[in-house]
Amino acid sequence: MSNIEKVPGPKADSPAPSTENVDPEKRKREYKDFGHEQEGPSKALVDMDTIELKAEDLYDKEKVDLETIVIDDVFKLLQCDDSGLSQEEAVRRIELFGPNKLEVEEQNAFLQFLSFMWNPLSWVMEAAAAVAIILSNGQGTPPDWPDFVGIVLLLFINSSIGFYEERNAGNAVKALMDSLAPKAKVKRAGSWSEIESSNLVPGDMISFKIGDIVPADCRLTEAINVSIDQAALTGESLPQSKKDGDQCFSGSTCKQGEAEGVVISTGPNTFFGRAASLVGQDDDTTGHLQKILAQIGSFCLVTIGIFVLAEIFVLYAGFRFQYRRGLNNILVLLIGGIPIAMPTVLSVTLAVGAQQLAKYKAIVTRITAIEELAGVTILCSDKTGTLTTNKLTIDRNTIQTYGPFSAEDVILLAAYASRTENQDAIDASVVAALGDAARARAGIKLLDFKPFNPVDKRTEITYREEATGKLKRVTKGMTGIIIELCSRNKTDEIENKLEKDVEEYAARGLRALAVAYEELEGDDFEAEGNGFELIGLLAIYDPPREDTKQTIDDAVALGVRVKMVTGDQLAIAKETGRRLGLGDHMYPAKVLKDGPAPGSKHASLDEMIMDADGFAGVFPEHKYEIVKRLQGLGHLCAMTGDGANDAPALSRANVGIAVEGATDAARGAADIVLTEPGLSTIVHAIRQSRVIFQRMRNYSIYACAVTIRIVVCFAILAFAYKLDFPPFMILIIALLNDGTIMTLSVDRVLPSMTPDSWDLAEIFSYAVAYGIYLTGSTIALVCIILQTTFFQDKFGVTLDTSPAQANDPQLHMIIYLQVAIISQALIFVTRSHGFFFMERPSTALLVAFCIAQAISSIIAGFADWGFTNIKSVSGGWIGIVWVWNLLWFAPLDWIKFAMKATVIKAIRERREAKTAQAAAGGIPITRTQSRAASIHESLYSNRVSFIKRAARKVGFGQKISMKPEELQRFSSIQAQRVGATLARNPSRTAA
């Protein structure tokens, strides 16, 4: 809730409002849900002389409740005084109570490295290694050490690259997070200093003032007109006045006054820490990307499995192969068909993307959220501080005047009646409207100033005008109070005009501030004046950020609909929506409970939520419900938030975004943390995430196509010619492929202008088409070499065997070179939407491709490796293979276009028809349900969860956790539980 609708608290030098006459029942109802409803201080139920200073005793509420006992007992129990602790004692207490922050488990680098070998694709490669070293040992042959070493090397290279990139991304995130470390003003050994708030301990004396964040739970020892905003923790909408002895929560904000207090609890023992303990950091739920990775992996594994079984039956049952000979053919399919680099390529792509987003001041705390952000269709944005500046401003275009004064005169006189130091938000906005704050006191001599107080609801200044020497008085405040003072021009006409203007302001969500003026006779500044005269009405509002309108337009152009979700009044939300071009079709939060009104145009609440431009007067439970319903309608939803109570909604959203200045709880629940204010960073992140998505999609098509190409090709060659291709050469192809494909993480691609989504039917269709075509290119070449002497006759090349034999080592080398070149060249087709030469690849990809092909050609020309049954070929054969591949490469783009015009078009039309049918029938189209998991998909999620559990059982380290950027901040069960709790205990002023 913004300051626009808040009643300002007392000024710094006015008495704090009394709480003596508050109905105790009312107070009890107001606070009963938050655990601090005690009616007065109590005594500690322990012997002060025997209690020990340790966490077990201090935080055991059966013994003592530091939140409610008398302040003197607090000092006795904490063994401290108002001069503060000594530095030595503070160090000792850090060891006793721990640092004043929520503990984050250190990541075990070794387990992170192993995690890249813990997924089904890697398991198949590991099984292949086992086959090479164990099952190959028979029939008088030794274990297949070359293949074993090659497979292990391939696994380690992939893991090392992924590990390096993720550590880099993690370090970049950590550096940004460290820069957000809060500070605290603390008194140690009688002198004040500023330290990091994480170093506070129970018993420390702290100080804070207007604008500061309370660094730890404390009891106030001195409070001068203190008003604390603790909405982010308790949901209480208005700032709460605090007096000596009251408790202040860690993470709340001082809105007015200044205070000193004694720290009573730190870190996880604070109110905030206890709430944040809901965060689940050992959760096996699966993100959207892992679900896709599982399906792509399954496609590859099923394809390989079918052909491996076929080879077992054909080679052993049909051809009567010996045990050892058949194994090599199976190894070829296992090694060549598995896209072993897939988890690494995707991890590297995401890690590089996280580093790129960090340049836009966006910290990615769950790395797979980048992929989900690319598919976001609806962004639910908070208003205050995100769409707006969170800084009250005078709207000069709507100032009303009621006398011989101009709008500028009204602003100047209102500034006279404002404080120039220790200002509240309204005084600051009035003085800022002058442009030069010095004008608020220029040309006048201040004689008397009455600050705002909750009873009078106005400020007043009496001053002498230096130019004329006249005494004058100006007051500003609530319209109803000011008009009653205006004896000089309070006519029915003026009152009617004022009432009309105020209503017009209210309808537009503007807060009215009336200004009146009178002159005094003589030199007595305390004398009565000649009567106040109403001179003007100022409109105060929280203005949109300068870049917000353009940002929203950009988001809409990208196919993302922005909905405002704010705690402010409906009129304020509508006015902000109008100014931003967002629309003013908004509803109060109560419709989420009551549903659409009978006879309205909306048949259901879901339809109303989809139609709305935003919601006003919302509380955390409403945000959670909105996100949940939008997801149920098939949308990927992003949500912004800043408070601890926003955590359930941030967690529920596909992409939770903690805005600049958010609490630690919101940051913990969010997937992306912004360190700069405004919405523009989010749009930058959406664009960047779509670039990353395109890279991953291009790779996925390529990886699946290569699987089809290797498996089908070598199975057919084995069936047709009993070809025994050496597995080691497939390893070389895989190694060179992986080295090239890694550069896709920095490839040049254009982001799509609509939300991205994984259409696996399209990916698999492209992959099958490309794979079968490339299979044809190899089989055709082998058939010509084995069935004819065309190349020998035309180009004068020869093979060791004549006529050519299927298992000629030189033929194996020719097949190796042909497969290696055209398989890698396929990436230039899959990465482009049009002709491959129309979209320039990155320099890194181009250079990597050229190096890989040079290595392949050198191997073909010079490698005579007897251990793997290959032999070098002449330059003539190398030239023939290159020309052959160029001829077969040219039509690949036309295959892509043909697929788009036929199969892909049919798939899309079928999907659109299904979507339209479901929408017409009112059936939700579920594209994603938050971060749901299945047993199968979870194999790809917490890659180290199994290793972690095993390591804990054997005592390998006490603090082992998977990398923070993939941790689920709240498990779905916990998020639902928190959402339900909020629904049962709504904030006290809920609409």
Residues designated catalytic = 382
* Cα-Cα-Cα-Cα dihedral sign, residues 254, 255, 258, 261: negative
By three-state DSSP, how is residue 657 classified? strand
Q: Are strands 183-188 and 205-209 parallel, antiparallel or unpaired?
A: antiparallel
Chain-centre distance for alpha carbon 705: 33
Q: Which of 401, 422, 399, 357 has the alpha carbon at shortest distance from 494? A: 401
């989420």: which residue's tokens? 592
Distance CA 50, CA 47 (A): 6
- The backbone torsions φ and ψ at residue 485, rounded to the nearest 5 degrees and listed phi first, read -80, -20
* 3 state SS for 775-796: HHHHHHHHHHHHHCCHHHHHHC
Pairing of strands 217-229, 253-265: antiparallel
Residue 134 has what DSSP assignment?
A: I
- How many angstroms separate the CA atoms of 184 and 350, rounded? 36
Q: How far apart are the C-alpha atoms of 650 and 643, rounded to whole Å? A: 10
| Contact (CB, 8 A) for 667 and 365 | yes
CB proximity list for 410: less than 8 A, separation 6 or greater:
399, 401, 515, 535, 536, 538
Judge contact between 769 and 904, C-beta under 8 A: no
Query: What angle separates helix 342-358 from helix 145-178, to the nearest 10 degrees?
Result: 20
* Parallel/antiparallel/unpaired status of strands 205-209 and 253-265: antiparallel
Q: How many CB atoms lie within 10 A of CB 708?
A: 24
CB contact at 8 A, 614 and 547: no
Buried-exposed string 172-208: b where 16+ CB fall within 10 A, e elsewhere: bbeebbeeeeeebbbbbeeeeeebebbbbbbbbbbbb
Best CA proximity match to 652, nearest among 289, 921, 968, 189: 968
Residue 679 vs residues 379, 549, 984: alpha-carbon distances, Å: 10, 10, 32
Sheet order of strands, 561-565 included: 362-364, 672-674, 655-658, 637-641, 378-381, 561-565, 614-616, 586-588
* Cα distance between residue 271 and residue 731, in whole Å: 57
Pairing of strands 533-541, 393-394: antiparallel
Nearest to 5 by CA among 450, 545, 426, 578: 426
**Look-up: residue for tokens 């204010």?**
677
- CA-CA-CA-CA dihedral for 688, 692, 697, 698, to nearest 10: 110
Q: Taking the CB of residue 239, how many other CB atoms lie within 10 A of it?
A: 22
**Rounded-to-5 percentages of helix, strand, coil across the chain:** 50, 15, 35
CA nearest to 572, candidates 618, 631, 534, 604: 618
Instruction: Report the 3 state secondary structure along 798-843.
Output: CCCCCCCCCCCHHHHHHHHHHHHHHHHHHHHHHCCCCCHHHCCCCH
Distance from the Cα of residue 344 to its chain's centroid: 22
Measured distance CA(659)–CA(641) in Å, rounded: 6
CA distance 401 to 475: 15
